[in-house]
């Protein structure tokens, strides 16, 4: 996390530094970007940089926290659904909003996997935990599988689908907009054809 002196900087200055860092990490990878090049590009002296961050990993953490926060903001909090159709609609809306955000924020797109995968992605899994709990309440998600395992498996399927879609976006190929293939995969995981029929 940034040091207190960084938090006391004007908002515009903080956003500038983190924006420059985000672009460098996106272009060169979370592990490949140079701390010295980032602070030079941001117009920060080495002395000042070490008053703001403990080092490169600290800066990377701040950048990835910002990326994850924007991804979760795009999804929006999971709200309990009224019925199966509403559940499917809410999931589709969240997926579409996330896809739209990633399509217009290339740095977040490049760093999404690193942001979600960092430290087990607890906030990310929290969103899926709420989704699975709601799906079980509605009888749409099987209950014989441990809740934590179902959450992890659901998040893993979505992450795999996101990786597939992101690779297509990077290659200039738009993924299907309806998210139908992801929904089919999730229905199989959650409870098979019954879920698809109830939600369809």
Q: Is the pLDDT of residue 197 over 80?
A: no
Same domain, 11 and 54: yes
Same domain, 60 and 99: no
- Comparing CA positions, the residue from 72, 116, 123 lying closest to residue 98 is 72
Q: Considering 36, 64, 92, which residue would you say is the last residue of a domain? A: 64
- Comparing CA positions, the residue from 6, 135, 124 lying closest to residue 64 is 124
Same domain, 140 and 77: yes
pLDDT band of residue 14 (cuts 50, 70, 90) is very high
- The percent of residues above 70 in pLDDT, for the chain, comes to 91
- What's the 3-state SS for the chain? CCCHHHHCCCHHHHHHHHHHHHHHHHHHCCCCCCHHHHHHHCCCCHHHHHHHCCCHHHHHHHHHHHHHHHHHHHHCCCCCCCCHHHHHHHHHHHHHHHHHHHHHCHHHHHHHHHHHHHHHHHHHHHHHHHHHHHHHHCCCCCCCCCHHHHHHHHHHHHHHHHHHHHHHHHCCCCCCCCCHHHHHHHHHHHCCHHHHHHHC
The whole model's pTM is what? 0.82
- Comparing CA positions, the residue from 116, 120, 146 lying closest to residue 133 is 146
pLDDT of residue 59: 95
CATH number at residue 19: 1.10.10.60
Same domain, 86 and 175: yes
Mean predicted confidence (pLDDT) in 26-34: 92
Same domain, 32 and 117: no
Same domain, 167 and 69: yes
Same domain, 98 and 26: no
Q: Are 108 and 53 in contact (CB under 8 A)?
A: no
Say which range, 72-81, 146-155, 189-198, has the weakest mean pLDDT. 189-198
Task: Please give the tally of structural domains in the chain.
Answer: 2
CATH number at residue 185: 1.10.357
Mean predicted confidence (pLDDT) in 10-31: 95
Q: Considering 42, 64, 86, which residue would you say is the last residue of a domain? A: 64
Same domain, 51 and 86: no
Same domain, 70 and 112: yes
pLDDT of residue 175: 60
Cα separation values, 185 from 147, 153, 178, Å: 18, 11, 14
pLDDT of residue 122: 81
> HSE on the CB side for 176, CA within 13 Å?
8
What pLDDT digit, counting tens, does each position of 104-156 carry? 898 998 898 888 887 666 888 899 999 999 999 999 999 999 999 999 999 88
Same domain, 72 and 137: yes
Same domain, 135 and 53: no
Main-chain phi, psi angles of 192, to 5 degrees: 75, -155
Same domain, 34 and 88: no
Q: Residue 34: give the domain boundaries.
A: 4-64
């Amino acid at each position: 996390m940034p040091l207190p002196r960084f938090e006391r900087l004007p908002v515009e200055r903080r956003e500038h530094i983190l924006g420059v860092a985000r672009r460098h990490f996106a272009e060169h990878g979370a592990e490949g970007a140079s701390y010295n090049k980032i602070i030079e590009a941001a117009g920060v002296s080495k002395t000042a940089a070490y008053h703001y961050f403990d080092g490169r990993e600290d800066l990377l953490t701040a950048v990835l926290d910002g990326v994850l926060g924007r991804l979760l903001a795009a999804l929006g909090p999971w709200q309990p659904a009224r019925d199966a159709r509403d559940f499917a609609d809410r999931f589709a809306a969240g997926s579409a909003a996330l896809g739209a955000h990633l399509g217009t924020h290339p740095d977040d797109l490049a760093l999404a996997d690193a942001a979600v995968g960092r430290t087990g992605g607890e906030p990310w899994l929290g969103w899926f935990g709420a989704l699975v709990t709601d799906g079980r309440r509605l009888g749409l998600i099987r209950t014989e599988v441990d809740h934590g395992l179902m959450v992890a498996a659901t998040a893993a399927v979505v992450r795999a689908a996101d990786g597939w879609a992101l690779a297509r976006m990077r290659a200039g190929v738009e993924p299907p907009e309806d998210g139908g293939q992801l929904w089919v995969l999730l229905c199989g995981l959650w409870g098979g054809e019954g879920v698809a029929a109830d939600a369809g």
